[in-house]
A and B are shown apart, each in its own frame.
Chain A
């Protein structure tokens, strides 16, 4: 029985979604972090997801409970990229971080985007939890096999 791999798959989904939630939280927290130069300004961070294939985990393609070498085995985060969108430049000469021309740079965080992302990732997280719960009850049923 390969019910155990469902836990790994749903677990990888939960890890990926919580990382996405983390970057979203970081983006929202830093949405108003002003800076005097473009280099030091916070940029929105986005995780890059990619599907994990069984063949990668199991190079010889054989083993217990392997359905198919091309079958997927969850999701993983390839890395976190910084958004290359333009930063917001505001004219605030009285701001302590203003440069010689009186401009202050604000991060390229779109709070509305981030809120939508946050909802999406929390829903996906919940979905993976549901999957894990269902797999758990299936496994518990298996354990009662043969009992009166």
Chain B
């Protein structure tokens, strides 16, 4: 019996990956805090996780030819959404630096939590292999 990491690690790997993606999007918002006309964006974490869960539990399709469409829904193909600004600015920039920064920090903390889960999955596997 082969060990399937996907099954052993559960949803935490996708959660971690989604956290990284979100961090990237939020970092981009912060980098563009002074760019005129820039629209702040974010990903819908819940929708991404739902899709990741569906793709792990649902029917998986095989691609027998390179020209077949990729039906696997990974956490990577989700659409970015625009934020509704609290206070629109004259130059069209919708980045609220403080709010974005707090979201970034929150996301980093959630990342730590997801990491903790993933790490304990691994240590569980190691313990099982060692027979402790």
Chain A residues packing against B (C-beta within 8 Å): 1-3, 5-6, 9-10, 12-13, 16-17, 20, 49-51, 66-68, 70-75, 120-121, 123-124, 127-128, 130-131, 134-135, 137-138, 141-142, 144-148
Docked CA distance A22–B28 (Å): 22
Are A141 and B25 neighbours in the complex by a CB distance under 8 Å?
Answer: no
Are B33 and A124 neighbours in the complex by a CB distance under 8 Å?
Answer: yes
Chain B residues packing against A (C-beta within 8 Å): 17, 20-21, 23-25, 27-28, 30-36, 38, 41, 76-80, 97, 101, 104-105, 108, 111-112, 115, 118-119, 122-123, 126
Are A124 and B20 neighbours in the complex by a CB distance under 8 Å?
Answer: no
Contact A67:B76 (CB < 8 A) given known A127-B33, A134-B108, A141-B112: yes
Name the distance in Å between A28's Cβ and chain B's nearest Cβ: 18
Q: A9-B24, A20-B34, A123-B97 are in contact. List 6 more A-B contacts (CB 8 A).
A: A10-B27, A13-B30, A51-B35, A74-B28, A134-B23, A142-B115
Are B80 and A75 neighbours in the complex by a CB distance under 8 Å?
Answer: no
Are A138 and B35 neighbours in the complex by a CB distance under 8 Å?
Answer: no
Are B108 and A138 neighbours in the complex by a CB distance under 8 Å?
Answer: yes
Q: Please report the number of residue pairs spanning A and B whose Cβ atoms sit closer than 8 angstroms.
A: 111
Contact A2:B24 (CB < 8 A) given known A68-B80, A145-B122, A146-B119: yes
Name the distance in Å between B29's Cβ and chain A's nearest Cβ: 8
Nearest B residue to A71, CB-CB: B80
12 A-B interface contacts by CB (under 8 A): A2-B21, A3-B20, A6-B23, A49-B36, A67-B24, A70-B80, A72-B38, A120-B34, A121-B34, A128-B30, A134-B105, A134-B108
- The residues of B that contact A70 with a CB separation of less than 8 Å are 80
Are B31 and A130 neighbours in the complex by a CB distance under 8 Å?
Answer: no
Are B34 and A9 neighbours in the complex by a CB distance under 8 Å?
Answer: no
Docked CA distance A148–B125 (Å): 12
Docked CA distance A121–B34 (Å): 8
Main SS class of interface, B: helix
Docked CA distance A144–B120 (Å): 12
Contact A124:B21 (CB < 8 A) given known A73-B28, A146-B119: no
Most buried by A among B23, B24, B25, B104: B24
Docked CA distance A138–B97 (Å): 21
Contact A135:B123 (CB < 8 A) given known A3-B20, A145-B118: no
- The residues of B that contact A51 with a CB separation of less than 8 Å are 28, 32, 35, 38
